[in-house]
A = this chain, B = another copy of it.
Amino acid sequence: MVRKQVRMANLKKTVIRDPFWSEKQRLITDTVIPYQEKILNDEIPGVEKSHAFANFRIAAGLEEGEFYGMVFQDSDVAKWLEGVAYSLAVKPDAELEARADAVIDVIAQAQQPDGYLNTYFTIKEPEHRYQNLHECHELYCAGHMMEAAAAYYEVTGKDKLLRVMEAMADNIAAHFGPGKAFGIPGHQEIEIGLMRLYHVTGKEAYRDLAEYFLDSRGTDPEWFAKEKEKRGWTHFDLDPADTKYNQSFAPVREQTKAEGHAVRAVYMYTAMADVAAATGDEAMFHACETLWNNIVEKRMYVTGGIGSTVEGEAFSVDYDLPNDTVYAETCASIGFVFFNKQMLDITLDGKYADLMELELYNGVISGMQLDGRRFFYVNPLEVNPGISGELFGFRHVLPQRPGWYACACCPPNVVRMLTSLGKYVWSENEETVFANLFIGGEADLDKARVHMDSGYPWEGRVSYTVESKTAERFSLAIHIPAYIKEFTVTVNGGKAAYEMKKGFCYLTRSWGAGDRVELSFELPVRRVYANSAVRADAGCVALKRGPLVYCFEGRDNGEELQALRLLPESAFVPCRTEDAGLRGNLVLKGNGIRMVTSEGLYSEEPPKAEKAELTAIPYYSWGNRGLNQMRVWMLEK
């Protein structure tokens, strides 16, 4: 039966203490969240006005003024609050919490007597509520605020925002559902938000409403067109006939290919898996598996990036994975982590943890500058200065991370992802404690307090200390990434019996008060080849080590990366870099060749091979040292 086989870890009872991830969390708590707060308060000169807090004050009647910003401006506040909630678990901060409480007070005052909450419609078009679900993001904003409410409640125990959002959920439920108005959101998110409320409150009405929105989707592919005709006005002039864009082309259970806007898609799949587990819905779960397979087998970059076309920020067709015109939005990678976590919790299959790992170490953190100050939406696998970011077809592919965007979706998504890592690392059920990722730290679980010490991703050495709280036998299940073909595991220094099941190493015993598990494995440099159907990668190889995809930058390898060739017989070895711009990452060095051609545009003279010393850097760290060329896929001689 489809159900979640694990309990979510309580974020407050986890700590990340990891040589790799702790620094990223520090960037988030110390740099990104304060910066984001200033943005929302319009305190950063030169950055486009947000007005997002002000909109709530105006809607609450605390301030005079007009609504300003995108129709989904409220979601920026929601995402900030969700990030703040998690960050308070990572790093308690009474002043920050007090400011968040104050924001929540304003939100509560902005709520209308009937529970409705949305500053755009409250201030600007109160007569148009719920008339333009296609374009106007009302349900989307509500979904994000529900996520924030659940998170804030989980971490702080304060339920003010939770009650606000329950009232809003009730308002939505009063409008939409069987026997009431038909409705589906233009941008899926409310389904996730409602499921978060359901998990926190246990109120099945929220689960049922989430299920309603999912099950209604695609039952009438012309519904957005009808909605438009009925209301007679438009906000963005979105084409309602483009039903692939928002996954309303078919009932969700019948969808077999990942289509349309990638973030909408993976948010929807996340909710589908959550609902499937909550209701035991086999058909819904099967659709999730089919869609996951389509992504992972045919529509995903080697970095985990998804959504290969800028048109609609969308999935393209199978095997169409251009490296230089790619979209691969940071948010889509984050949403795919959400989806994989749901699938992992249902199946206990490590293949989903593998994908979480791939995304976290590559597609997610490539979105953030190493100093936490600039962000990518688009995560290309090839950039060429003078082309990328400048020419037709490439304008969206910025070769360097810009500052905060007017449409600020990705940075806050990175914030909530990285501050809630503890939930992804650990989970638990009656028989087993699961360690899903090699991210060091501690978790205070029901059966045990577990400590993980990890040298990952640089070293293949991870140890666990288990302080059991029970006399009963239970398992510690350690996810072994699929690329690790051999490993050794010891318990208290001695050879340990274990069982491998779906990518997890199960160690089952009566645990004492400080049993130590040591896991070690090699981290060779691996060469990865794409399926021959992927035109963009033909003749090419990519390098990986551990979970990290590597790439080549012009700065280390000279210009014209396309003229370089990797040699099949030449080994790459990891070296600590002295380049301060890379902040101590391990880089890979090896010998290759540079093909030198004659000067003309075309020549009958074959290119000559010259020796070249090559350096690859972790993909997530590209674009941190100024404008230069970058490639993940390199031609192999």
Interface residues of chain A, those whose CB is within 8 Å of chain B, are: 296-298, 300, 302, 309-311, 316-317, 319-320, 325, 384, 386-387, 391-393, 483, 526-535, 538-539, 542, 560, 562-563, 565, 568, 595-607, 635
Contacts and interface: CB of A to CB of B under 8 A. Distances in A.
Given A311-B392, A320-B391, A391-B320, A529 B605 contact: yes
Given A311-B392, A635-B538, A532 B601 contact: no
Q: Chain copies in the assembly?
A: 2
Given A531-B598, A532-B595, 7 more contacts: A300-B601, A528-B603, A529-B606, A532-B562, A532-B596, A539-B595, A542-B602
Given A602-B302, A606-B529, A607-B532, A539 B635 contact: yes
A392 B322 CA distance: 12
B391 A600 contact: no
Contact of A560 (B320, B532, B565, B599): B532
A317 B385 CA distance: 11
A260 to B, nearest CB: 13
A325 B393 contact: yes
A309 B600 CA distance: 22
Nearest to A631: B535
A603 B298 contact: no
Contacts of A560: 532-533
Contacts of A386: 317
Nearest 4 CB-CB pairs, A to B?
Answer: A311-B392, A538-B562, A532-B563, A539-B635
Nearest to A302: B602
Contact of A317 (B391, B563, B568, B606): B391
Interface centre among A311, A319, A539, A604 (most CB of B within 10 A): A539
A635 B539 CA distance: 7
19 contacts: A302-B602, A309-B391, A309-B393, A317-B386, A317-B387, A317-B391, A325-B393, A483-B604, A526-B604, A527-B606, A529-B605, A530-B601, A531-B598, A531-B603, A532-B562, A532-B596, A535-B562, A538-B563, A539-B635
Nearest to A629: B535
A571 to B, nearest CB: 15
A146 B603 CA distance: 40
B393 A298 contact: no
From A530, A531, A563, A595, residue with most partner B Cβ within 10 Å = A531
Contact of A603 (B317, B393, B529): B529
